[in-house]
Amino acid sequence: MSVERLATGADIRVTGPRGDTVVLCLNGGMAREVPGTWSASVEYLVRRLAPSAGEVGWAEVRYRVRSWKRLPMCIDDGRAALGALADAGARKVVLLGYSMGGAVSTAIAGDPLVRRVIGLAPWLPPELDMSGMRGRRFDVLHGSLDRALPGIPGVSPERSRAGFDRLLELGATGTYALIPGAIHAVALRAPWGALVPMPRAGAWAERVGELLGTDDADEPR
């Protein structure tokens, strides 16, 4: 595992080989403008899936500011990560966008490196320019119990489904599936740094692994 500074000042953390194919993971955000952190949910999935991913590398982005009020800045950080991966020799990137990372992913999906996008409880605001998703595949997983609560970020399945339908209208293809009993977070970080899996965390990992094993040419289900 290695951590590098991106051109924007954000950080990228790479696990596994720096080969032809990389899964680029984009973190969620919050209303308050706080310094970027590594996503507990994304980290949990990387730890579960990277050891059996063969020659596929995994990269996580730590934004400069982790807030949807600074979405353009987060999008710039995502683009910088794609540039760094290209410079390192990547030729195929799968974007894995969690929560606000779904918006970041769809905004940068027009890059020639990107082959497809997987959205985990993706936040897809109506004003977001998603034109780069035309012709791309977008697979969504969402917890059936996900809701925004006072002081706790969340995205309802109804909102992500509306964004998914807009993408289909734009010319994207893909799938949409709920994970019964799952909430917004896949995992949280304890005050002492340990990852604490949330209900149905194993199901999240299993379903993401299945999607990553789906060939790009497969027809949407």
pLDDT in single tens digits along all 221 residues of the chain: 889 999 999 999 999 877 789 999 999 988 888 988 999 999 999 999 998 878 899 999 999 999 889 999 999 999 999 999 999 999 999 999 999 999 999 999 999 999 999 999 999 999 999 999 999 999 999 999 999 776 677 899 999 999 999 999 999 999 999 999 999 999 999 999 999 999 999 999 999 999 998 654 343 32
Residue among 55, 67, 65, 136 nearest 99 (CA)? 67
At the topology level of CATH, where does 2-212 sit? Rossmann fold (3.40.50)
* Domain map (residue ranges) of the chain: 2-212
Identify whether the C-beta of residue 208 lies closer than 8 Å to the C-beta of residue 118.
yes
Q: What is the pLDDT of residue 97?
A: 97
Cα 81 from Cα 54, distance rounded (Å): 22
Cα 219 from Cα 154, distance rounded (Å): 30
72, with CB counted inside 10 A (0-12, 13-18, 19+), is: exposed
**Pairing state between β 92-98 and 57-62:** unpaired
Cα 18 from Cα 132, distance rounded (Å): 25
What is the reported pTM? 0.93
